[in-house]
Structure 1
Amino acid sequence: MDTSVNKQDRLAQDEEITLKELILKIREWNRYLLSKWKIIALAGIIGGFLGFLYAYLKKPVYTAECTFVLEEQGSGGGLGQYAGLASMVGIDLGVGGSNGIFQGDNIIELYKSHSMIRKTLLSKCSFKGKQELLIDRYIESNRLKEKWSKKNGLSQLSFNIPQSSFRLQHDSIISVIVNDINNNYLTVSKPNKKLSIISVKVKSQDELFAKEFTGKIVGNVNDFYVQTKTKRSSENLHILQRQADSVRAVLNSSIGGAAAAIDANPNANPAMQVLRVPSQRRQVDVQASSAVYIEVTKNLEIAKISLRKETPLIQVIDEPGLPLEEMRYGKLKCFVLGGIILGFLMVIVILFKRVYKKILE
């Protein structure tokens, strides 16, 4: 019993000694660091100066933002009663089907697709009255041609040619730029998940590039979205329009033929019924063509309603305008952060050197 008590007392004493030694060590290190305060302060001043210099030389970043609301009409509804009528002539109005390949937040991913960004980069915009490709503006603002000067052929590479003439170098450079824009320039989000408002932001050190790229990609993506959503209904509408024009031409011809047949025998003998046959045939053709034309015209109007119903409403709320929102690095903030970071690194170096010397001793 006494032995166990003694062991517990020894453990308690060891713990007390260990804690005491820890406190003494901390004091010792603290005194040592205070003895080196001049070096640490000098490192902090140098770090603050470097931070101030970074903030002074760093170009501001401009943010162009475009917000729009997306509203999609559901399918079906009041057009369901016309679906059977349209199907009689082999026309599918798309009533009751799905809303298409783009649903929900898929339009956000469409903004980040390689094809949409590529199409936007190869679009021309006006910069101070001069038409210029957005990709050329990107290359100029990032001084890529200076970096390419050591590589044969890249500094003279031109994108102002038909895309069918692009070589492997063109496609490779475009892929690199698209990835950079996706990772560092372009942000697409829904600020409020409950609403259908979508925000498109482009950040760049080139104010004009940010503004023009934002407007162009919003236009390209939204046009592609609407065309894809309404593609089936548009094709149906074009088919019905061609049918209506064709039937109308036949009807006009039948009406003219009936009039010509009557004019051929203006004073036909009532006893000679055979003389009335040509005009009666023409009349039958007119009546048949009129009935077909009425039905086709009715289906054409239904198709127009269907197209309007399936066309999503995209209403731009805010467009980017000059001057854009500017984000600069605060000189005082960078001075303080630079001083803290370099001072902390100097403390680590000093402690490491002291520990290293003690190990060698």
Structure 2
Amino acid sequence: MENREIIDPNNDELSLKEIIQKIIGLVTFFKLQFWKLLIFSIIGGGIGFWLAYSSTPIYSARTKFLMKESGGGSSLMSSLGSLGSLIGGAGGTASPLDRTLAIMGSEKIVGDALFKKIFVEGKLDLAINHLIEIQELRKLWEKDTVLNGVQFLQNRTTKESLNFKQRKAYKIVINLLIGEKATIIGKIFDKKSGVFDLTVNTKNEDFSIEFNKVLYNELEMFMYNQSTNSSGKNIEIIASKLDSIKTELNGVQNALARNTDRTLGLLMQEDKVDQKKLMMKEQMLTIMYGEAQKNLETFKFVNESINKGLEVIQTPFSPIQPSSKSKVKFTLIGFLASGILGFGLLFIKKWVNDLL
């Protein structure tokens, strides 16, 4: 029996001819609706241009700096002798570069900077008051019974001195700066060049520049204080060890002198053993004392010669070229998006009419 191909008249698969016919139909539809689509696109392009034109320009103040390779804490430890294990290492396993990047965006640095006075458009006030005005937060807080009319006073520059209303406002402001979705403060570290990039992005040029400077100053001072505090603690530890060694050494020397006086130069074998032990212990403590004294002088020298571990290579100054949305880009996006949307709407309308 011959095998014959059975053709299903209900087969929904499109033939090549039908596909070509549908493409020709779409092209014909596009030609018929060309002027409507053009109007759609022009309107969309106009909207895109208006959005770009009316967008608020952003001023980005940028400070770039390096970490100096010579410093008090870590480089000193390699020059110390036997007391290195007694005073501890350079403080943890975290990289100093990663640590600095984390400190840059910490509440300690940013929060302290908010309570510093800066000039913005000729007015001297706390940075936090300027930022509230720039971000137009007072308008948002008008209906808030707690935040309405909040003002930070220049004689209250610590979080402990704030009242409930001020603390609530402070938390909102600090979240704008260091929260998960914060964009006002930017911090970048380039591993290839070793350069840190600290930026402040606001719509007020004066505030961006002045607040950027305050942030960097707070960071620099914090790093310096950390270095001096660490070195000062090391000096205290070594000085304490030095006193302990000196006390022990004096005790051994006194015991050795009493042992010699007691025997009057006539030493029995048992006395010789005791005296030898005392002499060995005296020698060991003398060496330890000398080493501790040397290390103490080394730490004192380093503590006196510590400098600020950051070196600025770029600072912000006026005028800053503001960044704004590209008019050409937004016009083109609006033109294309509106044209595609208009084509889809007109095609759906035609399809519904054909069904009816």
Instruction: Give the structure-2-normalised TM-score.
Output: 0.70
Partners of 1:103 and 1:309 lie apart in 2 by 20
Q: 1:352 to 1:109 in 2, by over 3 A?
A: farther
Q: 1:32 to 1:172 in 2, by over 3 A?
A: farther
What is the Cα deviation at residue 299 of structure 1?
Answer: 5.8
Secondary structure at the aligned position of 2:124 is classed as: strand
Q: How does 1:47-196 map to 2 (within 5 A)?
A: 47-72=44-69, 73=71, 74-75=74-75, 79-81=79-81, 83-84=82-83, 94=88, 96-98=89-91, 103-160=96-153, 162=156, 163-182=159-178, 183-191=182-190, 193-196=191-194
Q: Is the 8 A contact 2:147 2:168 kept in 1?
A: no
> Aligned pair 1:35/2:32, yes or no?
yes
Which residues in structure 2 correspond to 1:1-361 (within 5 Å)? 3=3, 6=5, 17-72=14-69, 73=71, 74-75=74-75, 79-81=79-81, 83-84=82-83, 94=88, 96-98=89-91, 103-160=96-153, 162=156, 163-182=159-178, 183-191=182-190, 193-237=191-235, 301-307=297-303, 313-359=309-355, 361=356
Whether the 8 Å contact between 1:120 and 1:134 is mirrored in structure 2 is yes
Offset at 1:298?
6.0
Question: 1:138 and 1:295, CA in 2 relative to 1: closer, same or farther beyond 3 A?
Answer: same
- 1:15-35 residue CA offsets vs partner (Å, 9 max, x unmatched): 984333233222212322322
Identity of aligned residues (%): 24
What number of residue pairs does the alignment pair up?
298
Q: Quote how far apart the aligned CAs of 1:43 are.
A: 1.6
Q: Which residue of 1 aligns with 2:247?
A: none
Asked if the contact 1:55/1:334 (under 8 Å) is kept, the reply is yes
User: Which structure is higher in helix share?
Assistant: 1
Q: CA deviation at 1:311?
A: 6.2
Quote the Cα distance in structure 2 between the aligned partners of 1:135 and 1:67: 24
Name the SS for the 1:216 alignment partner. helix
Is the partner of 2:59 in helix, strand or coil? strand
Question: Could you list the runs of 5+ residues in structure 1 that have no partner in the other structure?
Answer: 243-293
How far, CA to CA, are the matches of 2:199 and 2:94 in structure 1? 25
Indicate how the Cα distance of structure 1 residues 178 and 34 shifts in structure 2: closer, same or farther if over 3 A, else same.
farther
Residue 3 and residue 40 in structure 1: after superposition, are their counterparts in 2 closer, same or farther (change >3 A)? same
Between the aligned partners of 1:115 and 1:30, the Cα distance in structure 2 is 64
Question: For residues 306 and 150 of structure 1, do their structure 2 counterparts lie closer, same or farther at Cα, with a shift above 3 Å needed?
Answer: same
Alpha-carbon displacement from aligned partner over 1:295-343 (angstroms, at most 9, x marks no partner): 9986653222343687662101100111113213333333232222222
On the 8 A contact 2:101/2:187 being kept in 1, the answer is yes
Larger CA deviation: 176-185 vs 53-62 = 176-185
Is 1:240–1:299's contact at 8 Å kept on the other side of the alignment? yes
CA-based RMSD: 3.5
Counterpart CA distance in 2 for 1:121 and 1:237 is 34
Distance 2:13 2:291 in 1: 101
Q: How far is the alpha carbon of 1:220 from its aligned partner? A: 1.1
Secondary structure of 2:197's aligned partner: strand
Superposed CA deviations along residues 142-187 of structure 1, whole A, max 9, x for unmatched, are: 2221222233342310122623342444333333333333421222
